[in-house]
Structures are given as C-alpha cells and as structure tokens.
Structure 1
Amino acid sequence: MSALSTAVPDPYAADCPTRSVLDRIGDRWTVLVLLLLSRRSHRFTEVSRAIAGISPKVLTQTLRALERDGLVTREVFAEVPPRVEYALTDLGHTLVEAVAALAAWSREHFDEVLDARAAYDAR
C-alpha cells in the first residue's frame, strides 16, 4: 500500500483510489493490450495490427495510461528509423493472470450472455 494512505482501501467509497485502478483494468482496450504484451514486447504498429478496431489515437492513449500506471514500459532504440517497443513491467505481469481469467470466462460464456441479451430485448 502507498505511503500516502494508511486506511484499508474500500472500492465502494467514492474517493477510494482503487476506483481509478479498476477503471483502467476494466477497459476493454487495456485488457487486450495487456494480453497481447504478455506474450512478448511489441512495436506500436504490431499492437495496432493485432487488435482489430482500435484507433491509433485510442491505442496511444491506452499505452500512455498503462505506462503512467507502471504496467507497461516504452523503450526507444537509437536506430534509423527510431524503433519503439512496449513491454509489460513486473507489475503488469502480476495483472495478466486475472485479466486472462476474464478473457477465458468471456470466451466460455459469450453465447449465454448473447442469449440472455436476446431474451431481455425480446420482452
């Protein structure tokens, strides 16, 4: 726990800092980027090609936010042209198991969710 806080985190409290962390890791683009980077480091264009539907602007915002949160590193190589690679930090790797479990659950149960939506919408 941070040296700034001494209270036990309570995500149900409006001012709890865990809420911003939950917002970050609950974002679909974050989940997909983390899962992709859990395999190996990637260049921006590799991430962009691998994750269908993400715009360059949103990918940039997602990678910057993950870097700010200490989950991803950005390494610039002094080459011509410059090469930039993104990789998970040790902290980022600790999150992968939980995120992978959510991804597995969604693959396993998406048909049930779609059926439930259809039944709800039919009412």
Structure 2
Amino acid sequence: MNQALKYDIYQQHCPARLFFEKIADKWVLLIINILSQETQHFNLLKKNIQGISPKVLSQKLKMLERDGFIERRVQNTSPIRVDYSLTLLGIEVAKMAYQLKDWAESNIEQVISAQQRFDATQQQEM
C-alpha cells in the first residue's frame, strides 16, 4: 500500500518549509497580488510595484515560474512582449496572499501604535 507523503513544517528538513521562506518575501506577495488581478507584462509589473528593481523582479518571476505559481508567455509582437499570469496553483496562493494584504492594510495603524508605545516605554527605561 502506497501511503501519501505527510509533511511536518516543524521538522528541520521538511521541504514544505521552503514555501514559507518564499511566500514571506514582500516582493513575492506583491507580485502574486498584482497578477491575481490580471495578466501583466514585465514593465507593467515593474511600474505597478513601486521600489522593485528590474533585477529583483526578474529573479522573483523566475522563482515563481519554477515553483509553478506563474506562467510566462512570449507574445510574438514587435517588440517581443512577455506576459505573466497565475497558474491554478498560483491562484490558490493568491487567495491567501490577498488575505494577508487586506489584513495588513486594515491593521497597520494598530501595529504602528503598538510599536510607538513599546518604543516609548523602552526610552523611559533607559
């Protein structure tokens, strides 16, 4: 009987841990969120994700393609254009990424207030 593999992310060598390393990257989350809205080409992605360098965007797109989250399509246009879109696996991840985005935007003021309170008490203790 062939039993399905079971993974435990709390174990040091569990391959599922790699997912957390990748998805915890801010650029990865932003790329996935943008592509969940629509297919985009490289320059549009770069424009929509302020602060990302072309080198980093290229690296993250290759990583996401390798992991099966995005698909790269070369358009036979002049000049040649490359479009990126989410795969079915990427769409599943995008749902979770969107929840994180939504939570962060809704709760960042509470986080900032907590940081300020903490910093104020640290200053008083010095």
Residue in 1 that maps onto 2:82:
84
Code of the residue aligned with 2:49 in structure 1: it is I
Gaps of 5+ in 1: none
2:66 & 2:119 partners in 1: Cα distance? 40
Residue 7 of structure 1 and its aligned partner are, at CA, apart by 4.1
Fraction of identical pairs, as percent:
36
Residue 65 of structure 1 and its aligned partner are, at CA, apart by 0.5
Rg comparison, structure with higher value? 2
Q: Give TM-score, length-normalised by structure 1.
A: 0.92
The equivalent position to 1:32 in structure 2, one of 30, 33, 55, is 30
Q: Deviations over 1:11-30 (max 9, x none)?
A: 11110011111111111111
Gaps of 5+ in 2: none
Matches within 5 A, 1:1-123: 6-122=4-120, 123=122
2:112 & 2:55 partners in 1: Cα distance? 30
2:119 & 2:66 partners in 1: Cα distance? 40
Q: Deviations over 1:57-108 (max 9, x none)?
A: 1111110100000000110112221110000001100111111111111011
1:115 & 1:81 partners in 2: Cα distance? 49
* Number of equivalenced pairs: 120
Please tell me the root mean square deviation across aligned C-alpha atoms, in Å: 1.5
Code of the residue aligned with 1:98 in structure 2: it is M
1:22 & 1:73 partners in 2: Cα distance? 21
